[in-house]
Amino acid sequence: MESNVLPDSIRPPRLQPGIGFGSGPTGTLRSSLRPGVTVPIAPLLSSPASLAASSGPPPPPPPLQLHSLYGGMMGAGPGLGLGLGPGTGTIPGASGHGNPGNPAVLKEAVEAVVRSFAKHTQGYGRVNVVEALQEFWQMKLTRGADLRNGALVVYEMVPSNSPPYVCYVSLPGGSCFGSFQFCPTKAEARRSAAKIALMNSVFNEHPSRRITDDFIEKSVSEALASFNGNREEADNPNTGIGAFRFMLESNKGKSMLEFQELMTVFQLLHWNGSLKAMRERQCSRQEVLAHYSHRALDDDMRTQMAADWVNREQSVAGTIAQELASTERELEDARLAGRELRFYKEKKDILMLAVGQLSETHASLCLTITV
């Protein structure tokens, strides 16, 4: 079997706040905070340095590029404009590598981490990266990691009858990576995806990947300097920088991958136009942040966003095809660069869900245009 696919219908339920709907023109707070723009359709390891306990630690993770954490959040001005758009789909600190522009450098870095992981956990010799990745997350679960849906690592092959084959892997927290090399077989695509995911999983345990008080202060200071802000803005939750501080402080102690998973929700809300719609419903930035900081991305949210794209397509034919083509290019570029992919992958899945809601003729046209 090529993939461990876990349908949403049988996944363990996630605890989330309900999304109700009011009867008036503005509705209740919870109705205003719905993700849809339109009316919706009815440690982990024994110690932080445990991988470096024996001879020869794995290569250290690259320095965090802190500006990428806040750059997108600041740019959209007043109201709820967090600006988490397509340009901010990856936090470099969560990606586990520096400059992804050189495939040879990326491949060398990945192989070095895999070899080091194998030496520290299984001794010398060839490592089965697919098994190693699963064992890594199983180990985290047994050592107390908060994995609400268990430790299962899920693989997804892109349907194809000929090489190159492409495989995506989703980690238990939701982060997604993909095969980053030319893969002549499906098995090799699976191994390639597992390698990049294992590298990021290992780097994510490094102390520098934790959100601490020092990390928050440095990030906020750099945000103030970059956007010519003042200290009062950082203390005001109704400003962009204040919202950024609120997000960081709300996630103190979490890793970069965990923070990236949260940011994906807000990136999708921004991409879908939901943040702008919530501002028009008079929701404050603080209310939106507080609500969606505790809400996991689920089928209900995806369905409401898909409904918005169906409405856009009905208003302007070709809208979905254009957005889908753009998203597929972004996903391909990010995959080959070894970056975290969930934002791009979720966008594509939402758009494909929207295509499925169109008439058969219209849906075929959308898919034909994007091929």
- Model confidence at 122, pLDDT cuts 50, 70, 90, reads low
pLDDT at 361: 54
Q: Is 276 exposed, middle or buried (0-12, 13-18, 19+ CB in 10 A)?
A: middle
Residue 29 has pLDDT above 70, yes or no: no
Give me 325's structure tokens.
Answer: 């083509």
Count of C-beta atoms within a 10 Å radius of residue 123: 8
Of 28 and 201, more confident: 201
Residue 38 has pLDDT above 60, yes or no: no
- Model confidence at 103, pLDDT cuts 50, 70, 90, reads confident
Distances from the Cα of 248 to the Cαs of 33, 123, 177, 218, 260, in angstroms?
Answer: 21, 38, 24, 11, 11
> 190 Cβ partners below 8 Å, 6+ apart?
2, 130, 155, 157, 167, 169, 179
The answer to whether 151 touches 170, Cβ cutoff 8 Å, is no
Residue 62 has pLDDT above 70, yes or no: no
pLDDT at 354: 95
C-alpha closest to that of 337 among 110, 146, 131, 125: 110
pLDDT tens digits for 229-238? 888 888 887 7
Question: For the chain, what percent of residues have pLDDT higher than 70?
Answer: 66
pTM score of the predicted model: 0.71
pLDDT at 283: 87
**Sign of the four-CA dihedral 145, 150, 152, 155:** negative
pLDDT at 317: 92
Question: For the chain, what percent of residues have pLDDT higher than 90?
Answer: 34
The winner for highest mean pLDDT among 11-15, 46-50, 199-203 is 199-203
Element (DSSP H or E) covering residue 167? strand 167-170
pLDDT tens digits for 276-304? 899 899 888 778 888 888 788 889 999 99
pLDDT tens digits for 143-178? 888 887 889 999 999 999 999 999 999 999 889 999
Mean pLDDT of the chain: 74
DSSP 8-state code for residue 338:
T
pLDDT tens digits for 247-266? 888 889 988 888 888 889 99
pLDDT at 234: 81
Give me 59's structure tokens.
Answer: 């290569």
Of 123 and 346, more confident: 346
pLDDT tens digits for 312-367? 999 999 999 999 999 999 999 999 999 999 999 999 999 999 999 987 656 566 66
Cα gap 141→155, rounded to integer Å: 19
C-alpha closest to that of 50 among 141, 116, 97: 116
The answer to whether 278 touches 289, Cβ cutoff 8 Å, is no
pLDDT at 243: 80
The tally of CA atoms less than 13 A away on the side-chain side of residue 121 is 23
Residue 123 has pLDDT above 80, yes or no: no
pLDDT at 339: 94
Mean pLDDT over 117-121 rounds to 61
